[in-house]
Chains A and B, each alone.
Chain A
Amino acid sequence: MRLDVEGLAFGYANKEVGRDVTFGLSGGEVLCLLGPNGGGKTTLFKTVLRLLAPLGGRILVDGESIAGWSRLRLAHAFAYVPQAQLGVFPFTVAETVLMGRTSHLGPFATPSRRDRVVADDMLALLGIEHLAARPYTEISGGERQLTLIARALAQQPAILVMDEPTASLDFGNQVRVLAEVEQLAQRGIGVMLSTHDPDHAFLCAQRVALLHHGRLARLGPPEDVITRESLREVYGVDVTVIEATRSDGRSARVCVPALGTIPTR
């Protein structure tokens, strides 16, 4: 499945947040959305997911506009991993993941044995089977994030949209989530995620979109997009991008900011 966003203008009825956003995403690809706070990342995601109506432009899935799609049909194409939030009622982790099966159920149906198998598989895939019976309200932030990813996968979507999946996670969990993102792409899912950390984009993304003041400042492979110049332009910070060698022999780039020379914006 392929997602195409063409000349999208997005925002709220009385306030435009961004415009002229054009990008594409194929199955098996990871697109990382970078940009400063208030740059419109979340609003853009919500518009792509049709949680907000677009103010202009088109969103196409396999060439077909999603404008008239039902929630059910949208849920078959897109799954959403919101920033981990606390539920009101103490559903167990297993029940929470099972909710990902909702779009595959009839309106009056409850999950079948097969749905439970899918949900269990996703728990196992993310290595959180041991949490199955725990209340979602009582596990740690990292575990919650993994649970939400498992729920999104139980939905069996073509495209996965993740809003800052590494925010508020400790270092180990951040790496675990990024590794999972890479795996998902290998399974053919198109992943679109936002992050605040350019290093994460280097680690897992094939393409990076830099969103600044609601417009795509740059779009392309991480090496081309994340540069000293672009980071200075967008974040107003002086950064050196260096090449490091990972333990598996592959090389990876990392950003090292220079703390002493932060120019005022």
Chain B
Amino acid sequence: MLVAFSVGRYPVAPTELLRLLWAKLTGAPLAVSPALETVVFRVRGPRVLAAVAIGATLAASGSAYQGLFRNPLVSPDILGVSSGAALGATLGIYLSWGVAGIQALAFSLGLGAVVVVYAIGASLRRLDPLLVLVLAGIVVGTMLGACISLLKYLADPYNQLPAITFWLLGSLASITRDDLLSVLPAALAGLVPLWLLRWRMNVMTLSEEEALTLGVDTRRVRVIVIAAATLMTAAVVSVSGVIGWIGLLIPHFARLLVGPDFSRLLPAAMLLGAGYLVAVDTLARTVASLEIPLGVLTAFIGAPLFIWLLAVSRRGWQ
């Protein structure tokens, strides 16, 4: 994090950074330039903190989804939350709404997509509930994707299309302190139930019949966990855009380190997710003079890591 604060277009020496923090904490007069203060507290600060919060949130919801769907290859997008949010943002940009409007639309369509998917799953009672959810997620996701393509086709290619493309690739460049504050309540509201249900989450990874006969009301737990994880993901994606791979990859690493027990997996995944996104975001704004979209970097780094993981972690899951 210290590194993330220091490097960038306006380099800050670590000693200066510490002096600045000290001055802020003690209320002593500033011994550094006001430009530096602006960079650290207004620009870089929110961005690094956002990376921490978003990385942790995506990793937490990824861990929850993987456990719930008894499948380590599941990511938080499986029920269409990202596609829904993406359509919301695309629509917002297409209609030339303001930033807050775009975010609100992304958030509500992200939630809405999952509600639709869940409703389809619940209405087809006779089939395996998990399979139906996944299939409904894929179908709804594809439809939303088609809607996004249509909007991109219709969008103004000079102003709107680049903005849409940029949003779909995910970025923390324009994040502000207000964005961060608006995301945190939803992220926390999702995190609390996940943490409370941490033992039930372990039992949910068994087969449906085993979980039921062990005394778990699987349908109720599933609704709560899906709602919690979706709320978190939608809140985050609505400010950062689609950042892939974290929800898929980080829980794997966490499981490799601390095992599958959810009460250890959840905090471990959150720490790793936070660290990973801070690192990737720092790379995104420093390796080239042009900022690289986050989604591009997480995929470039994530895909080889994932293959390496498959090669070494034969025993991680089977």
In Å, the complex CA distance between A109 and B196 comes to 8
> B213 to A80, Cβ gap below 8 A?
yes
Residues from chain B with a CB closer than 8 A to the CB of A108 are: 196-197
Interface string of A79-119 (1 = CB under 8 A from B): 11010011111111001000110110101111100000000
In Å, the complex CA distance between A247 and B273 comes to 62
Residues from chain B with a CB closer than 8 A to the CB of A72 are: 215, 217
- Using a CB-CB cutoff of 8 Å, which residues 37-58 of chain B contact chain A? none
> A92 to B259, Cβ gap below 8 A?
yes
B206 CB–A CB distance under 8 Å: yes
Residues from chain B with a CB closer than 8 A to the CB of A89 are: 67, 72, 205, 255, 260, 317
- Using a CB-CB cutoff of 8 Å, which residues 32-68 of chain A contact chain B? 46, 49, 51
B261 CB–A CB distance under 8 Å: yes
Q: Which of B196, B214, B316, B317 contacts A100 (CB 8 A)?
A: B214
> B317 to A74, Cβ gap below 8 A?
no
In Å, the complex CA distance between A138 and B71 comes to 18
Q: Known contacts being A82-B207, A90-B317, A135-B315, is A110 close to B198, with CB within 8 Å? A: yes
> A99 to B259, Cβ gap below 8 A?
no
> A79 to B213, Cβ gap below 8 A?
yes
Q: Known contacts being A135-B315, A155-B214, is A111 close to B207, with CB within 8 Å? A: no
In Å, the complex CA distance between A72 and B318 comes to 30
In Å, the complex CA distance between A105 and B198 comes to 12
A70 CB–B CB distance under 8 Å: yes
Interface string of B255-279 (1 = CB under 8 A from A): 1000111010000000000000000
| Closest partner residue, chain B, to A75 (CB atom) | B215
- Closest Cβ of chain B to A102, distance in Å, is 5
> A80 to B203, Cβ gap below 8 A?
no
Q: Known contacts being A70-B217, A88-B317, A137-B315, is A95 close to B212, with CB within 8 Å? A: no
In Å, the complex CA distance between A87 and B209 comes to 13
Q: Known contacts being A75-B214, A82-B209, A82-B210, is A105 close to B318, with CB within 8 Å? A: no
Which secondary structure dominates where chain B touches chain A? loop
Residues from chain A with a CB closer than 8 A to the CB of B206 are: 87, 99
A76 CB–B CB distance under 8 Å: yes
A78 CB–B CB distance under 8 Å: yes
> B126 to A102, Cβ gap below 8 A?
no
> B199 to A102, Cβ gap below 8 A?
yes
- Using a CB-CB cutoff of 8 Å, which residues 278-318 of chain B contact chain A? 315-318
- Closest Cβ of chain A to B198, distance in Å, is 7
> A102 to B315, Cβ gap below 8 A?
no
In Å, the complex CA distance between A90 and B67 comes to 12
Q: Give the number of chain A interface residues (Cβ < 8 Å).
A: 37
Residues from chain A with a CB closer than 8 A to the CB of B203 are: 99, 102
> B209 to A80, Cβ gap below 8 A?
yes
Q: Which of B196, B199, B315 contacts A138 (CB 8 A)?
A: B315
- Closest Cβ of chain A to B67, distance in Å, is 7
A13 CB–B CB distance under 8 Å: yes
Q: Which of B72, B202, B316 has the most CB of A within 10 A?
A: B202
In Å, the complex CA distance between A155 and B210 comes to 12
- Closest Cβ of chain A to B125, distance in Å, is 9
B216 CB–A CB distance under 8 Å: yes
In Å, the complex CA distance between A82 and B259 comes to 24
- Using a CB-CB cutoff of 8 Å, which residues 55-88 of chain B contact chain A? 67, 70-72
Residues from chain B with a CB closer than 8 A to the CB of A49 are: 209, 212-213
In Å, the complex CA distance between A149 and B48 comes to 50
Q: Known contacts being A135-B315, A137-B318, is A102 close to B214, with CB within 8 Å? A: yes
A71 CB–B CB distance under 8 Å: yes
> A110 to B263, Cβ gap below 8 A?
yes
> B212 to A71, Cβ gap below 8 A?
yes
> A74 to B215, Cβ gap below 8 A?
yes
- Using a CB-CB cutoff of 8 Å, which residues 180-217 of chain B contact chain A? 196-200, 202-203, 205-207, 209-210, 212-217
> A86 to B318, Cβ gap below 8 A?
yes
In Å, the complex CA distance between A105 and B201 comes to 13
> B214 to A99, Cβ gap below 8 A?
yes
In Å, the complex CA distance between A90 and B258 comes to 11
Interface string of B139-164 (1 = CB under 8 A from A): 00000000000000000000000000
In Å, the complex CA distance between A79 and B215 comes to 9
Beyond contacts A88-B205, A137-B315: 7 other A-B pairs, Cβ-Cβ < 8 A, are A51-B209, A71-B218, A75-B213, A89-B205, A89-B317, A90-B315, A91-B261
Closest 8 interchain pairs by CB?
A: A75-B215, A103-B215, A89-B260, A80-B213, A108-B196, A110-B199, A88-B70, A102-B214
A-B contacts, 16 listed (Cβ < 8 Å): A70-B217, A71-B217, A74-B213, A74-B215, A75-B213, A82-B209, A85-B207, A88-B317, A88-B318, A90-B315, A92-B259, A102-B200, A102-B214, A107-B200, A108-B197, A137-B315
List residues of A whose CB falls within 8 A of some B CB: 13, 46, 49, 51, 70-72, 74-76, 78-80, 82, 85-92, 95, 99-100, 102-103, 105, 107-111, 135, 137-138, 155
